[in-house]
Structure 1
Amino acid sequence: MPPSARPSESLLPPEAVVWAFRLLLGREPGEEELDRHRRHASPEALRRALVPETYAAPLWLLAPPASTLVPWIFEPPRLSRPTSQLCTASQFDEPDYAAWCATIAEAPRPHRKQWEFCWILAALRAADAIRPGARALGFGVGTEPIPAMLASHGVEVVATDAPPEIVAEQGWGSTHQHSEDLTRLHRSELLEEAEFRQRVTFRPVDMNAIPRDLRGFDACWSSCCFEHLGGIAPGLDFVENSLETLRPGGVAVHTTEFNLGSNEHTLETPGLSYFRRRDIEGLLERLAARGHAVWPLNLHPGDSPLDAYIDTPPYALPHMKIEALGQISTSIGIVVQRAG
């Protein structure tokens, strides 16, 4: 049960929050802070929120790939020049970030989910996939603004999300982040509904069994979806299978959870998996060996003070690197163009 849903009797005593603020921060908490920090699961979680751990990049993250098939750069990643890259603080300060937020009618905020939308659009633009008449396929779109944004630029979109039986099995219906039709995907601030429905269609699709009639697209994308497909292997298989939906030269643009803390141990459950460097690198090597064009992998974790900050439950802003279920992660985006 999420912290906001816990019954009031499980909240930390207000005195515990007050004394923690006095001891650790040397001040009294405000009323809003008192209410928010009472929602921590334990006094230890409260302590870690007030005096958070910081992130230092391990050596295995900094080394070049073992395989020469995987193109590699190591520099602060930029939205203005997208590659297969991590979410970092400096990208939120780029003029491109505010510009991409404007295209989806959102105010910029330091949150990795919003970064995923902006990075996906930046990669699609760099691949010349945002243009009138282009065809794009979205996987697991939920209620995201990308279908409406693409439609507003003349792109023909097929938006998909998990079939009802998978939603019920995984319990996603209660999150209100799932779509069953076009209703929750239209953005009136981006385009008229009639124009939206002319350019966007919807169908339920199991990402583990992509229908064979979904073919010939200029681009496909997903935003933090394939970590929910049953494990590491099914997630990686989805990325490879998504290339089959593209025309030769078409581009696949996907984001997912990246394990920043270990290249050995990770989280792998039927409902959620964190991908290690070795998982991502192995996938890109395999795809490159099969003739697909892999965009350079850039695992630079950022070098600003905010890049050392780890957000802990209950999550707030900035929300870039996070701790969850004993793992430290952030978002990674990967781009692959289908062999011609």
Structure 2
Amino acid sequence: MRPKAGVDPARLLRAAPRLLRGIRRRLRPRRVSAEAARWAIRLFLGREPTGREEVAFHRGHGDLNSLRTGFARTREFREFLARIGGEGRYAAPLFLLRPPASPLVPWHFAPPSLAAPVSQLCTAAQLEEPDFAWLCGALGLRPDPHRKVWEFAFVVAALRKAGLLRPGLRALGFGVGQEPIPAFLARQGISVLATDAPPEAIAGQGWESTGQHATGLAPLRRPSLVPNPEFDRLVRFTSCDMNAIPPELEGFDLCWSSCAFEHLGSIEHGLRFVEESLRTLKPGGLAVHTTEFNLSSDAETFEEANLCLFRRHDLEALLERLAQAGHRPWPLNLHPGDAPMDEHVDLPPYALPHLKLLVSRFVTTSIGIVVQKAG
């Protein structure tokens, strides 16, 4: 058989080794990346890899789903599940049920509601309320069973209950990222100063690449909620380090943050921020903040530079100090919910429903804290 006209046999022979290498690469079993293996060890087992050999072993999985299944079957992960009460199911510990030790901390224990919010946990029943659907519609969000959506709804529900959704007020947002609350408040005729961390304060932490950080007004616009000219008239942006709030930020009717103060470096830093946020308010002003709550333990917790899980006694101590200073915390309600969805603990790779999840060996969810400044 003669080669086709124009084809150089010598060139084909020279290219043969390269073509064979390409065929071998295509036939070689696929492997997950070393970084994926390392993160799986951290997320599922709550520790760092023991060495290169352990990472190389887990890279043998052909895809991420195989990797996830493999880790779910490990002895370490099964022992963790046994400690939290079963195969990825959450059982509420008794420390959630007892009243606060201090009489200064107002207390309420009943299924929480967005129709009558207090300082409360994210639960499944709230997502079934007509108020959740209305709040999501007002914010331009899908009513997904996701705790981040609940956080935005909770902030607005608390402001609504306090009668603070009216024109002429001044609002201050901390760590706003790309959330819809500034646009929603502008639609109500409220002047908003939206803030987020200076770029140098979050360098290397990944916020700038995950759609969770703002450096100006552009990512906060929501033309479907409020026209851009009205948005530009009512909303301003500035950088603000939540660990060092500038003294000129004062005289606001309300302030808020949504899952931001757990990233301030330590539990102490986060609690101090809540206290300092009240300084920005007029007498009688309202602070509404959401954060991470440790549902597994009131003793041990996860505390790293980029994420902290607040325990019950951390928040109770904060509310007691605020009450001693004359401020009025809204009642603390630690009812964790009793629907099947409230028992579900989401595992990586995360999916809906996403109300409770694992961080290291702790189950966490979102909690909303509301405090009225002394009048």
TM-score category of the 2 structures, normalised to the smaller one: 0.7 to 0.9
Amino acid at match of 1:305: P
TM-score (norm 2): 0.80
Q: Which residue of 2 aligns with 1:19?
A: none
Residue 91 of structure 2 corresponds to residue 63 of structure 1 = no
Q: Give me the whole-angstrom Cα distance separating, in 2, the residues matched to 1:154 and 1:58.
A: 44
Look up the match of 1:43.
Answer: 71
Write the distance in 2 (CA, Å) between the matches of 1:128 and 1:36.
48
Alignment of 1:41-120 (within 5 A): 42-44=70-72, 52-120=87-155
Contact 1:52 1:311 in 2 (8 A): no
Corresponding residue number in structure 2 for 1:272 = 307
Gaps of at least 5 residues in structure 2 are 1-29, 37-61
**Among residues 223, 233, 238, which one is paired with 2:273 in the alignment?**
238
Local SS of the residue matching 1:195: helix
CA shift at 1:177, angstroms?
Answer: 1.4
2:194 equivalent in structure 1 = 159
- Alignment TM-score, normalising by the size of structure 1: 0.88
Structure 2: distance between partners of 1:236 and 1:219: 18
Distance 2:150 2:101 in 1: 29
Equivalent position amino acid for 1:287 in 2: L
| Pairing 1:107-186 to 2, within 5 Å after superposition | 107-186=142-221
Larger radius of gyration: 2
Q: CA offset at residue 324 of structure 1?
A: 1.9
Matches within 5 A, 1:290-301: 290-301=325-336
SS in 1 for 2:354: coil
Q: Which residue is equivalent to 1:197?
A: 232
* Runs of 4+, deviation exceeding 3 Å: 45-49
**Whole-Å separation in 1 of the counterparts to 2:73 and 2:98:** 33
The size of the alignment, in residue pairs, is: 311
Matches for 1:191-230 after TM superposition, within 5 Å: 191-230=226-265
Pairwise CA distance, 1:40: 2.1
1:10 aligned to 24, 32, 53, which one?
Answer: 32
SS where residue 151 of structure 1 aligns? helix
Measure the CA separation in 2 of the matches of 1:266 and 1:123: 28
How do residues 301-316 of structure 1 correspond to structure 2 at under 5 angstroms? Answer: 301-316=336-351
CA distance in 2, matches of 1:291, 1:42: 54
Deviations 1:20-74 (A, max 9, x none): xxxxxxxxxxxxxx9773352843269979x942111111110000000000010
CA RMSD of aligned residues (A): 1.9
Query: Alpha-carbon deviations, 1:271-297, whole Å to 9, x = none?
Result: 110000000011001100110001000
- Residue 210 of structure 1 aligns to a residue whose secondary structure is coil
Contact 2:32-2:63 at 8 Å conserved across structures = no
What CA deviation, in whole Å up to 9, does each residue of 1:234-279 have, x standing for no partner?
0000000000000000000000000000000001111110000000
CA distance in 2, matches of 1:217, 1:304: 38
**Residues 240 and 132 of structure 1, relative CA distance in 2, 3 Å threshold:** same
User: What whole-Å deviation, never above 9, does each CA across 1:122-148 have from its counterpart, x for those lacking one?
Assistant: 001111221101111000000000000
For the residues of structure 2 that align with 1:75 and 1:303, how far apart are their CA atoms? 11
Deviates more, 1:51-60 or 1:245-254: 51-60
Query: What percentage of residue pairs aligned between the two structures are identical?
Result: 58
CA distance in 1, matches of 2:138, 2:122: 19
Given that 1:52 and 1:309 are in contact with CA atoms closer than 8 Å, whether structure 2 keeps it comes out as: no
The one-letter amino acid of 1:131's match is R
The equivalent residue for 1:330 is 365
CA contact (8 A) 2:290 2:368 kept: yes
| CA offset digits 1:135-162 (Å, max 9, x no partner) | 1100000000000011011110000000
Give the Cα separation in 1 of the matches to 2:211 and 2:150.
20
Q: Which residue is 1:21 aligned to?
A: none
Letter of the 1:241 partner, please give it: E
| SS at 1:147 equivalent | helix
The change in CA–CA distance for 1:323 and 1:45 in structure 2 (over 3 A counts) is farther
- Is this contact kept in 2: 1:312–1:324, CA < 8 A? no
Question: Is the CA contact 1:52–1:310 (under 8 Å) kept in the aligned structure 2?
Answer: no
What's 2:40 paired with?
Answer: none
Task: Specify the code of the residue in structure 1 equivalent to 2:185.
Answer: L
Q: Deviations over 1:92-114 (max 9, x none)?
A: 00000000000111121100000
